[in-house]
């Protein structure tokens, strides 16, 4: 069975390619540490873990149903402050969650997102009132503009202004990167020749070490090591399971032995009478 990402989860920007590759490697070596949580038949937490498992062809994923009472508060606590988000991203995400909460008829009890004042929302997301107001307006922009804000390529102020334009103008603005002003190049300081040569030598040495590390990482031996690690993890889990069964059988055996001894004593007492 395949799953899609819940709107509350997709309100947050995706991992970078580098972060996702690191997650794939970690799951390949250590398995899924935290379960993938399902809400309303969709993934509310663990979307990237799910995609990593699909890439690794993991047959049995750690999944569980999320049964809390406040999904908005849950995704906020899981994502809002643990990611490196700029003010525009934080304010827009908060506004998007508030809109979902209101349209879905699931007001957030702990945060009261749907009825929260603009001032309180700005305080919670650590942005200015102006930014929070712009975020609420940016919700009405085209999906391409909203995605640009969530990925940090556009500010909510720009998105709010664009939301008043026609759809084609918005889509075009979302695709075209904003031109940045050319910064003046600071005046270069002169470096002594000996110091430059030493730095160059260190740079070459480090480059060679990095290339060697990359080669080892992609080698067949490392892949075999990963397979052995997965096999070891599986055998360790099986060993622990059997140890638990043995402990339980030992407890049952001790209990039955004590019962037999007690019955034997009672039988001896009856014979003496």
pLDDT string in tens for the chain (273-residue length): 789 999 888 888 888 888 888 889 888 888 888 899 999 999 999 999 999 999 999 888 999 999 888 888 888 777 766 567 777 877 787 777 777 766 665 555 444 444 455 566 666 666 777 888 888 888 888 888 888 888 888 888 888 898 898 988 888 888 875 554 444 444 555 556 666 667 777 777 777 777 777 666 666 777 777 788 888 888 888 888 888 888 888 888 888 888 888 888 888 888 776
Q: Which residue, among 117, 177, 128, has the nearest Cα to 153 in the 3D structure?
A: 177
Quote the tokens at residue 206.
């480090």
To which residue do tokens 């300081």 refer? 189
pLDDT of residue 81: 60
CA angle 240, 242, 245 (to 5 degrees): 110
Q: Where are the domains of the chain?
A: 1-67, 84-175, 226-267
Longest dimension (CA), the chain: 111
Architecture of domain 1-67 in this structure: Alpha-Beta Complex (3.90)
Residue 207 to residues 21, 194, 214: CA-CA distances in angstroms? 22, 20, 11
CA distance 231 to 157: 53
Quote the tokens at residue 212.
């060697």
DSSP code of residue 35: P
DSSP code of residue 180: P
3-state secondary structure of 68: coil
pLDDT of residue 103: 66
pTM for the structure as a whole: 0.51
CA distance 167 to 143: 10
């Amino acid at each position: 069975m395949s799953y899609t990402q819940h709107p509350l989860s997709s309100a947050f920007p995706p991992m970078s390619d580098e972060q996702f590759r690191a997650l794939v490697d970690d799951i390949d070596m250590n398995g899924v540490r935290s379960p993938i949580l399902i809400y309303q038949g969709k993934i509310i937490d663990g979307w990237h873990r799910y995609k990593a498992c699909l890439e690794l062809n993991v047959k049995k994923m750690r999944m569980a149903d999320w049964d809390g009472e406040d999904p908005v508060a849950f995704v906020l606590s899981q994502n809002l402050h643990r990611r490196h988000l700029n003010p525009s991203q934080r304010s827009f995400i908060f506004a998007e969650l508030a809109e979902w909460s209101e349209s879905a008829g699931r007001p957030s009890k702990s945060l009261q997102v749907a009825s929260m004042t603009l001032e309180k929302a700005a305080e919670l997301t650590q942005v200015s009132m102006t930014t929070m107001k712009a975020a609420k307006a940016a919700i009405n922009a085209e999906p391409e503009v909203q995605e640009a804000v969530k990925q940090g390529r556009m500010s909510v102020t720009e998105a709010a202004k664009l939301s008043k334009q026609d759809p084609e103008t918005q889509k075009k603005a979302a695709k075209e990167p904003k031109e940045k002003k050319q910064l003046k190049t600071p005046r270069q300081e002169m470096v002594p020749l000996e110091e430059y040569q030493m730095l160059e030598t260190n740079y070459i040495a480090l480059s060679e070490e990095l290339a060697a590390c990359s080669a080892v990482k992609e080698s067949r031996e490392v892949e075999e090591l990963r397979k052995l690690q997965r096999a070891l993890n599986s055998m360790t889990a099986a060993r622990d399971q059997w140890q638990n069964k043995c402990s339980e059988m030992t407890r049952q055996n001790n209990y039955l032995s004590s019962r037999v001894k007690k019955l034997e004593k009672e039988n001896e007492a009856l014979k003496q009478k």
